[in-house]
């Protein structure tokens, strides 16, 4: 029972990592293309938030160069498969959602397998801390944001 819980937490953490790699990779690929429309100041902040989450989840893992390279390859492969699913007009929205979920889960599991047990434990601790901070933030009443620059 505990082992299933640990496996599930690792899978969730790995999924989180997979999702956080996507904005950076897509931004790097599209940086050579001119923007199609005028972007507001709020738009660039979203990838930075994802990168911040990734950094916090990965903090203290001390990934080797080999692990980083392997994770990048997994991410690129998963992204290419996700792009193909999104472009496939023969699939319904539900089929696309199911296939997307399956591809992301598969990528997560591949990434988790690259981590040592110590790295997995550190990642779980990082994700727990992030979740606790998020829950705490959600429970606080909203505060007025200062309008000045």
pTM of the full structure: 0.55
Asked if 123 contacts 115 with a C-beta cutoff of 8 angstroms, the reply is yes
Would residue 139 count as lying in a domain? Answer: no
Mean predicted confidence (pLDDT) in 64-77: 93
How many distinct structural domains can be found in the chain?
1
Would residue 113 count as lying in a domain? Answer: yes
**C-alpha to C-alpha distance for 123 and 17, rounded to whole angstroms:** 10
Range of the domain at 114: 91-131
Q: Is the pLDDT of residue 15 over 90?
A: no
65 Cβ neighbours under 8 A, 6+ residues apart: none
Measured from the Cβ of residue 91, the count of other Cβ atoms closer than 10 Å reads 15
Rounded to 5°, angle at Cα 57 from 24 and 128: 140
* Residue, of 72 and 30, whose pLDDT is higher: 72
Would residue 49 count as lying in a domain? Answer: no
């Amino acid at each position: 029972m505990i082992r299933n819980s640990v496996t599930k937490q690792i899978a969730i953490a790995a999924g989180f990592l997979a999702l956080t790699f996507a904005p950076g990779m897509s931004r790097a690929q599209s940086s050579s293309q001119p923007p199609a429309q005028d972007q507001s100041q709020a738009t660039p902040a979203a990838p930075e938030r994802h990168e911040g989450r990734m950094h916090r989840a990965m903090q203290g893992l001390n990934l080797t160069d080999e692990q980083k390279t392997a994770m990048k390859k997994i991410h690129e492969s998963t992204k290419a498969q996700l792009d193909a699913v999104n472009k496939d007009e023969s699939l319904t929205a539900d089929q696309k959602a199911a296939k997307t979920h399956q591809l992301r889960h598969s990528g997560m599991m591949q990434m988790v397998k690259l981590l040592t047990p110590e790295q997995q434990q550190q990642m779980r601790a990082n994700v727990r801390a992030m979740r606790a901070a998020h829950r705490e933030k959600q429970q606080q009443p909203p505060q007025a944001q200062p309008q000045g620059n």
